[in-house]
Structure 1
Amino acid sequence: MSSEKWENNEEIKIFREYLRIPTVHPDVDYTACVEFLKRQASSLNLPVEVVYPAVQTKPVVIIKWEGSQPELSSIVLNSHTDVVPVFREKWTHEPFSADIDEEGRIFARGTQDMKSVGTQYLGAIRLLKASGFKPKRNLYVTFVPDEETGGHLGMAEFVKTDYYKKMNAGFSLDEGATSESDVHHLFYAERLRWGLKLKVSGTSGHGSLLLPNTAGVKLNYLVNKLTEFRTSQVENLARDSSLSKGDVTTVNLTQLSGGVQSNVVPPLFEAVFDIRIAITVNVVAFEKQIRDWCEEAGGGIEIDFFQKEPYIGPTKLDNSNPYWLAVKAAIDELGLKVHPIVCPGATDSRFIREKGTPAIGFSPIINTTMRIHDHDEFLQADVYLNGIDVYKKIIRNLAEV
């Protein structure tokens, strides 16, 4: 199939224009992105506002489609505008050129995570407006910055603003994940993100001696304990096919520092662990276990939980949640296969849920090789266009709840 067919498609043109704006970390300039989104709002004849909840370099763009009953709680269609860094030498296409090959694959950073979702929302709204549809509830299409660095200068601050409060959010839709099969992944909860730094002190001296209570011996004990726990989670995942990655707790040693040279036993080692805690875990008992291990190792260990997200309850997927029923009705009508799971990573939905608003993560990307944060990230043009039709049905149902 010739790529010309896709290059002349108006929705594909819009998507590729968005992809060519390099909103890439570490130093993101959102200026061109904001102007692009303002033009998109204008093309839809919808009002747009830009707010800066944290700093003037971190804009949140909000496009509003007013409903016939604006006093009702609103629907938030969220996506993030930033993307992770690239290693250009590992790409077969320029990562911000949005090249499209003969198979209709569009190559660019952000195709899967998650610029596709943002412009698919807009494409779906374009179709709904063209059909004469008028939403009952207000619809807000929000484009937030810095999700890829934790969201702390984006959605985390935005939900604290008076602007967000006035939006009266009743439900939020956000990113899901790429599926390599025909089954869509739907996120209804997220694991807790904890960051742990251990500063392990011990006896220092000559490298030729068997000194007592060295930092290395203590650190070895702790690494072994945390690795044993990690292994238990790997075994749980392998033993129970009903579990997904988000149903277990991950522990990974990500940074290690200390020492000056090979023949000096150092007085201090520092180790950093990335921990993602399953929502079924008793976090009080889990933290106590880590502290107990530090005592068993010999003490003299400073424990710093430099990141410690609170428990946030999952979004209910039952008859008590009318928004879920609306999404499910759309899914059923479209004949989609969907597997609800706990998100193994983290998205901006956690900040929405923390405010008591139900949120679901969903991306209509199936039968696609997972390339999120990877080299040669791509999305098939027909998969992208089909996603617009999927969102058209979901958004219509949500607006009518």
Structure 2
Amino acid sequence: MSKAEWENNEEIKIFREYLRIPSVHPNVDYTPCVEFLQRQAASLELPVEIVYPVNKQNPVVLIKWEGTEPELPAIILNSHMDVVPVFREKWTHDPFAAEIDDEGRIFARGTQDTKEIGTQYLGAIRVLKAQGFKPKRTVYVSFVPDEEVGGYLGMREFVKTEDFKKLNLGFSMDEGSSSLDSGYYVYYAERTAWHLRFKISGTAGHGSILLPNTAGEKFTFIIEKMMQFRKTEVQRMARDSQLFFGDVTTINMTMVNGGLQNNVVPAQLEVVFDLRIAIDVDLEALEKQIRDWCVEAGGGIELEFEQKDEYVPPTKVDDSNPFWLAFKQAAEELNIEIRPHVCPGNTDSRFLRSNGIPALGFTPINNTPILLHDHDEYIRADSYLHGIEVYTKVIAAIANV
């Protein structure tokens, strides 16, 4: 198709309208998103409800497609409305203009994370309704806030509400990521996220004196231990080409603070590490190891968990999970290859899984660079429309389990 044909495609028009809403952190105004989604629900002749789990600034939008057997546990198709900030000077296109180039690439923040799946869900439902399909199970399409900063004002609190419990959910689908080849990633679990701040105290004084037990010495010890830990995981990935990003533990130093003046030995230094811990790691043993390093460094180190997620059991991807079987059967009928993996990052699926609801992360984009949170984020128009075809098959399958 030509650029003009992409621009005149109705599904592409809807998608680009959503992308042009700058629901970007910080201080997101979700009002235009809510109004857009209300119009979409009306065009599909489906009821929409707005829920406020925490406050009026952070709405959850629920579009309901009632099933023929509504007493059965329902399906939820989730995505988030918020997007991460941009460095406009690093973009070759306006990140909120949703421009299409001659190759059919749509450039905008949110094209991969995750405005695309939100409107693809709706596009698939539009197709199914036009075909006269009626789901056995009720299908909810949810659009949540705050995911990009942890979900603490969105899904994390929503799952605690009576509004959520009334949905009677049996299965969830949420975001995945694009793949670099012709296959598709399906995420059935997530690593455990820890954000560790080491507050390292030591002897302060003049920079010309070799003082004992300084914060700098302890700081160096901790850095070396954490970076050696990181190195072992890098080596594991290098040795085993079968390992996926989510199969190992990632350790990255993200913040360093401290010091008052260049000739003053500081009384305290701080360093922050972002850990995404593989699902086969003993969390208690890991925490003990890190605390032991603090003692070995010389003491005087306060370990603060700025985020300490608990282990969440994976969703089963075997014959015991009828939703997985339906998903897999749909993929086979579409003749697409799906590869189950542990998600490298964190999504709202962890809040569903922690409540006993099986969840899969799936974004039907392939042969595309992974550009979540990156500059010049884009999706190809043909890939976007193919994703609607994929969801049409998948949603019909899981809704009739």
Match in the other structure for 2:174: 174
Shift of residue 192, structure 1, vs aligned partner: 0.5
Summarize deviations over 1:183-205 as a string: whole Å, max 9, x none. Answer: 11110000011011111111111
Distance in 2 between residues matched to 1:318 and 1:396, nearest whole Å: 20
Shift of residue 388, structure 1, vs aligned partner: 0.3
Task: Give the AA of the match of 2:43.
Answer: S
Match in the other structure for 2:118: 118
Shift of residue 338, structure 1, vs aligned partner: 1.4
Percent identity reads: 65
Summarize deviations over 1:237-286 as a string: whole Å, max 9, x none. Answer: 11112211111111111111111112111111111111111110000000
Match in the other structure for 1:360: 360
Distance in 2 between residues matched to 1:228 and 1:182, nearest whole Å: 35
Summarize deviations over 1:164-196 as a string: whole Å, max 9, x none. Answer: 101011000000101121111110000011011
Q: Determine whether 1:278 maps to 2:278.
A: yes
Summarize deviations over 1:2-52 as a string: whole Å, max 9, x none. Answer: 311011111011001100111011111000110000000000000000011
Distance in 2 between residues matched to 1:71 and 1:301, nearest whole Å: 55
Match in the other structure for 2:145: 145
Shift of residue 220, structure 1, vs aligned partner: 0.4
Summarize deviations over 1:80-113 as a string: whole Å, max 9, x none. Answer: 0110111111111111111111111111111111
Match in the other structure for 1:192: 192
Match in the other structure for 2:267: 267
Task: Give the AA of the match of 2:63.
Answer: I
Distance in 2 between residues matched to 1:158 and 1:103, nearest whole Å: 40
Equivalence map 1:2-401=2 (5 Å): 2-401=2-401
- Structure 2 unmatched ranges of 5 or more: none
Partner SS for 2:340: strand
Distance in 2 between residues matched to 1:218 and 1:107, nearest whole Å: 46
Partner SS for 1:167: coil
User: RMSD of the alignment, in Å?
Assistant: 0.8
Partner SS for 2:225: helix
Shift of residue 375, structure 1, vs aligned partner: 1.1
Distance in 2 between residues matched to 1:100 and 1:257, nearest whole Å: 42
- Structure 1 unmatched ranges of 5 or more: none
Summarize deviations over 1:300-330 as a string: whole Å, max 9, x none. Answer: 1111112100000000000110000010000
Summarize deviations over 1:142-161 as a string: whole Å, max 9, x none. Answer: 00011100111010011111
Distance in 2 between residues matched to 1:291 and 1:399, nearest whole Å: 47
Distance in 2 between residues matched to 1:237 and 1:60, nearest whole Å: 39
Distance in 2 between residues matched to 1:96 and 1:267, nearest whole Å: 46
Distance in 2 between residues matched to 1:150 and 1:327, nearest whole Å: 28
Shift of residue 120, structure 1, vs aligned partner: 0.4
Distance in 2 between residues matched to 1:144 and 1:305, nearest whole Å: 26
Task: Give the AA of the match of 1:123.
Answer: G
Distance in 1 between residues matched to 2:348 and 2:326, nearest whole Å: 22
Shift of residue 369, structure 1, vs aligned partner: 2.1
Distance in 1 between residues matched to 2:227 and 2:89, nearest whole Å: 34
Distance in 1 between residues matched to 2:334 and 2:186, nearest whole Å: 15
Shift of residue 393, structure 1, vs aligned partner: 0.3
How many correspondences in the alignment?
A: 401
Shift of residue 370, structure 1, vs aligned partner: 2.1
Distance in 1 between residues matched to 2:179 and 2:318, nearest whole Å: 24
Distance in 2 between residues matched to 1:24 and 1:301, nearest whole Å: 37
Partner SS for 1:230: helix
Task: Give the AA of the match of 1:71.
Answer: E
Distance in 1 between residues matched to 2:307 and 2:369, nearest whole Å: 32
Q: TM-score, normalised by structure 1?
A: 0.99
Distance in 2 between residues matched to 1:246 and 1:179, nearest whole Å: 14
Distance in 2 between residues matched to 1:370 and 1:244, nearest whole Å: 14
Partner SS for 2:298: coil
Shift of residue 236, structure 1, vs aligned partner: 0.7
Structure 1 runs (4+) greater than 6 angstroms displaced: none
